[in-house]
Amino acid sequence: MIRGSFLASAIVVVLASIQFSVPAVAQDTTIKTRKQAEILIPRISRESVQSMDLSKAEALDTIDTADPHIKILLLSDNTWKYFKDSTYARDHKIFNEYWTHDYPDPYHVSLDELPDEIALWIVDTLSEYKCPHQNDVYSKFGYRHRRRHQGVDLPLQTGTPVYAAFDGKVRISKRYKGYGNLVVLRHDNGLETFYGHLSKIYVKDDQWVNAGTIIGLGGSTGRSTGPHLHFETRYKGYAFDPEWLIDFHSGTLRHRLFVLKKKYLNANSKYVPESEQEEIDILEGDAKDKEEAAKKAEAERKAAAAAQYHTIRQGDTLGALARKYHTTVKTLCRLNGIKETTTLRLGRKLRVK
């Protein structure tokens, strides 16, 4: 804890100036072709995401942020990351509407009610990704023996850990028909992931889990001819090929931002790699975005270096600090993500410039 406190004091100055947000889809008014429109998303969001390395570092301590549900987690390798705690899902509408532990599809939404395209952030600045089980897919999404196979099958040995792919809340954790032991997680972008045929379940209904949490062990329960993980991805109850999201051979997430097209919700719509020209367009766009991101990071670094902080002492008020540092209460609130009514805790570092 001493080391954790040292790390906290060492990096809090930098972190205090960081404001987290979920990126928004870029807008462009110069679209000339349908092809351009279909790939019009932030280029950096199209880059793949490596699966988490769970052996990297241990958590030492946490720092509060302006959002009470989100913490900054200090790690033993002198790095940090954002962390959503279990209270995050309590007031989030996505985890309260159409919520049941009884059956897989609580929505019963007509496909006609869904838009043709839905932009979904799979991984953003507040979340991570862990491949549920890395292996080659031996049974793909689609029709199999004239039956619809709504996910992919990944071979494994009984007892192999199965991981939560993303942060989410447990909607189902029980034995359910042909799935055998089944865990269903709902994520804050509206997606649900299914993990079937488990030999053991390690989570409970309504439990909040983070990406990389072991939710159970692989097995062959239910309608299964051998040990494997049956993995599904669904939106509003409709399954689509998980390979649109994950390259199970390498374990990587294909894109941070995924454009789910209504046609993908058809059982015959299997993952098809993008065309060569689209990949060229994406790579060119990525290079430009990386350059712009580097410039933005440098500007933020300079702003952080020029920032001035005040350690709260007995008797300090926002009004007094505003007068002392020739600024306004409104500016102090904006710089620190607080309100005029926020209680100033002794010892807290407040950014004043």
Q: Which domains are seen in the chain, by residue range?
A: 39-49+92-286 (2.70.70.10), 305-351 (3.10.350.10)
Residue 168 has φ and ψ, to the nearest 5°, of 180, 180
Residues 293-306: tens digit of each pLDDT: 778 878 877 777 77
Question: Would the pLDDT of 48 be above 70?
Answer: no
Question: Would the pLDDT of 115 be above 50?
Answer: yes
Highest mean pLDDT among 125-134, 223-232, 251-260, 289-298: 223-232
Question: Would the pLDDT of 34 be above 50?
Answer: no
Q: Which of 17-31, 33-47, 81-95, 158-172 shows the lowest mean pLDDT across its residues?
A: 17-31
Over residues 313-323, the mean pLDDT reads 90
Q: How does residue 77 score in pLDDT terms, banded at 50, 70 and 90?
A: confident
Q: In this structure, are residues 73 and 80 in contact, taking their beta carbons and an 8 Å threshold?
A: yes
Mean pLDDT, all residues of the chain: 79
DSSP 231-266: EEEEETTEEE-GGGTEETTTTEES-SEEEEEGGGGS
Task: Note the pLDDT of residue 55.
Answer: 61
Q: Nearest to residue 132, comparing CAs of 280, 246, 40?
A: 246
The DSSP bridge pattern shows strands 238-240 and 228-235 to be antiparallel
Task: Note the pLDDT of residue 86.
Answer: 67
Residues 117-156: tens digit of each pLDDT: 888 888 876 778 999 999 999 888 887 666 778 899 999 9
Residues 147-193: tens digit of each pLDDT: 778 899 999 999 999 999 999 999 999 999 999 999 999 998 999 99
Q: Nearest to residue 153, comparing CAs of 241, 231, 270?
A: 231
